[in-house]
Amino acid sequence: MFVGLATSYATAMALTIRESPVVAVAELIIRITPGPVAERLIRFVGQLDKPLLILGIVLFLLAMGAVAGLLARTSVVRPVVVWVALAAIGATAVMLQPGARAVDVLPVMVGLVTWVAVLSAIVKPLITERHHPEIVSRERRVFLSVASVFALAAVGIAGAGRIVGRGRRHVVESRRLLRLDGVTLPPAPPATTLGLAGISPWQTPNDDFYLIHTAISVPTIEPKDWTLRIHGLVDRELTLTYDDLVARRLTEAWVTLNCVSNEVGGDLVGNAWWSGIRVADILEEVGLDPTADCVLQTSEDGWNCSTPLTALTDDRNAMLAVAMNGKPLPIEHGFPVRTIVPGLYGYVSATKWVVDYEVTRFADVAAFWTQRGWSEQGPVKISSRIDVPRSGADVVAGKVNVGGLAWAQHTGIAAVEVAVDGGEWLPAELGASPSKDTWVQWALTVDLDEGEHELRVRATDKDGLVQTGVLRDVVPDGATGWHTIRVDAGSD
Ligand SMILES: Nc1nc2c(c(=O)[nH]1)N[C@H]1C(S)=C(S)[C@@H](COP(=O)(O)O)O[C@H]1N2
Ligand SMILES: [Mo]
């Protein structure tokens, strides 16, 4: 019981900023206790209400652990039933917390697996003992020593989780108190939103922005501890502190970021207002060797990617971003500093928690995803998506509103068209976009008779390139194909 509580507590501390499942249960009990009862209890125990409640829960759990242990004498399955029932209560409490996300049940699951594994490990010698009474005392000694090793491990695990969690809590606090001079948050530019309900918002709120990273426990870096070392094929190596960085001239822009792993019609794409320092300015400061053609960017967690120097130094405002939608970068999105390069997929450019820029040559390096079969170059491919109606939706026959988003960062979208049942391409109305680096909303009205229909969308970029209908997988350099959905038009 102790080891399971320890691993679940450690997981909660290390991975999320949530309280442990035990605290979630305590909060649930507080919420469902009728007011007058709670009042009377609180009057009775005063300030100690919460510690007493948690103590009560832990004592209850220890009793349940003893029950599971007794059941383990005669059955392998019955103790598991006890563990699963307890975990179900914990998971329910966690999911009923405001703003709960699916990952929040992870600590409960870790605790459950620990309970099952540790109980079976420590009772195994005792089960042998039942069959061979002559070795009783030896097996008991084994049981006691195994159990104490686990008990010690529990203390260690809980302590380690607490230390990791404390680091994260400090960074959460530093981020909250951080004031970034010059960072603004303008409203979304006029006419970017077409007003058709169901299209993803033109500006993606930070909490809804897709997340992709290889780190299991995301790096937590205090701005005062952050540095960026710029070295390699440069005239003058430079190491910037956070204060050095933000003291420089700020640049801000709306930029749409997307993942190379986004399937046709997928949602690994978002659009935000980013504030940061131009990479081109910094590279000019260090002076580039003419034989260099890329920057190998490395993050604090060791992930890396190689980015073409051309995209970092041309007019596109590649930046070392410090803020997203007017707020310091969220920790999961790379706090305190990440790279944003319009027009390139994230896997070759958007390094979160970035700490190192090595100016080098593509021929001399292989980055994380390039070693795993993905293309060295990752320019964004033109893409479009239908958001309304949803695929498989029932709609009313007649005039039906269709809409979605299209993007071709750093080229821009010139047109979007929709075809019904393989018929002619019908032009859609486009929302505004402040630059060629953001996506655009599109919408149109189509006529649908009763029955099943197929809708597909394609975009054309500002260079005149028409999105191809050839279906390609996301590996090695991004999916292609027209997003196609089926809807059922009914009489009412
Ligand atoms: N440190 C680090 N940075 C990273 C990654 C990563 O795994 N580790 N993934 C990249 C990929 S593949 C994408 S698509 C973007 C996603 O950024 P987001 O999570 O802020 O949406 O981050 C990029 N930066
Ligand atoms: Mo990605």
Nearest atom (ligand 1) to Cα of 257? 21
Name all residues whose Cβ lies below 6 A of ligand 1: 209-215, 257, 259, 299, 301, 303, 333, 346-347, 350-353
**Distances from the Cα of 487 to the Cαs of 134, 265, 372, 438, 452, in angstroms?**
73, 15, 38, 29, 6
Can you tell me the distance from the alpha carbon of 435 to that of 412, in angstroms, rounded to the nearest whole number?
A: 7
* Ligand 1 probe mutation, 212, 217, 324, most atoms within 8 A of CB: 212
pLDDT at 446 over 70: yes
Q: Where are the domains of the chain?
A: 2-169, 206-372, 383-490
Take atom 24 of ligand 1 and give the residue whose Cα is closest: 351
Per-residue pLDDT, 369: 94
Give 214-250 pLDDT, tens digit per residue. Answer: 887 789 999 999 999 999 999 999 999 999 999 999 9
Ligand 2 (ion): which residues have CB within 5 A? 212, 259, 346-347
* Atom in ligand 1 nearest the alpha carbon of residue 334: 20
Atom of ligand 1 nearest to the CA of 209: 21
- The Å distance, Cα 475 to ligand 1 centre, comes to 16
Residues 6+ apart with CB under 8 A from 442: 194, 384, 403, 404, 405, 406, 416, 428, 429, 430, 431, 457
pLDDT at 129: 59
C-alpha distances in angstroms, 409 versus 78, 99, 295, 435? 58, 33, 21, 9
- Distance from the CA of 257 to the center of ligand 2, in angstroms? 9
Q: Which of 162-171, 238-247, 290-299, 376-385 has the lowest mean pLDDT?
A: 162-171
| Mean pLDDT, rounded, for 409-424 | 98
Tell me, in angstroms, the distance from the centre of ligand 2 to residue 210's CA.
10
d(CA 458, CA 385): 8
Choice from 207, 213, 369 to test ligand 1 binding pocket (greatest atom count within 8 A of CB): 213
CA nearest ligand 1 atom 21, residue: 211
Domain 383-490 in CATH 2.40.128.720: no
- Higher pLDDT residue, 355 or 172? 355
> 3-state SS of the chain?
CHHHHHHHHHHHHHHCCCCCHHHHHHHHHHHHCCHHHHHHHHHHHHHHHHHHHHHHHHHHHHHHHHHHHHHCCCCCHHHHHHHHHHHHHHHHHHHCCCCCCHHHHHHHHHHHHHHHHHHHHHHHHHHHHHHCHHHHHHHHHHHHHHHHHHHHHHHHHHHHHHHHHHHHHHHHHHHHHCCCCCCCCCCCCCCCCCCCCCCCCCCCCHHHCCCCCCCCCCCCCCHHHCEEEEEECECCCEEEEHHHHHCCCEEEEEEEEECCCCCCCCCCEEEEEEEEEEHHHHHHHHCECCCCCEEEEEECCCCEEEEEHHHHHCCCCCEEEEEECCEECCHHHCCCCEEECCCECHHHCCCCCEEEEEEECHHHCCCCCHHHCCCCCCECCCEEEEEECCCCCEEECEEEEEEEEEECCCCCEEEEEEEECCCCEEECEECCCCCCCCCEEEEEEEEECCEEEEEEEEEEECCCCECCCCCECCCCCCCECCEEEEEEEECC
Which residue's CA is the nearest one to ligand 1's atom 4? 351
* Placement of tokens 């979160």 in the chain: 352
The residue whose C-alpha atom lies closest to atom 5 belonging to ligand 1 is 213
Q: How confident is the model over 383-402, as pLDDT tens digits?
A: 999 999 999 999 999 999 99
Output the pTM of the full model. 0.78
Q: Which of 64-73, 191-200, 282-291 has the lowest mean pLDDT?
A: 64-73
Which amino acid is it at 268?
L
18 pLDDT tier (thresholds 50, 70, 90): low
Shortest-distance ligand to the CA of residue 346: 1
Nearest protein Cα to ligand 1, atom 10: 347
**Ligand number with the minimum distance to the CA of 258:** 1
Q: Could you say which architecture CATH assigns to the domain 206-372?
A: Alpha-Beta Complex (3.90)
Q: Which of 368, 391, 371, 379 is nearest to 455 (CA)?
A: 391
Å from CA of 339 to ligand 1 middle: 10
Query: Angle 35-45/49-71 helices, nearest 10 degrees?
Result: 100
**pLDDT at residue 382 greater than cutoff 80:** yes
Buried/exposed code over 232-248 (b: 16+ C-beta within 10 A; e: otherwise)? bbbeeebebebeebbee
As a whole number, mean pLDDT of residues 334-360 equals 98
User: Which of 225, 267, 219, 300 has its CA nearest to residue 391?
Assistant: 267
Cα–ligand 1 centroid distance for 199 (angstroms) = 24
Residue to substitute in 301, 347, 374, 381 for testing ligand 1 pocket (most ligand atoms within 8 angstroms of CB) = 347
Mean per-residue pLDDT, 158-170: 82
Q: Which ligand is nearest to the CA of 261?
A: 2
What per-residue confidence (pLDDT) applies to 422? Answer: 96
Task: Name the residue with the closest Cα to ligand 1, atom 12.
Answer: 347
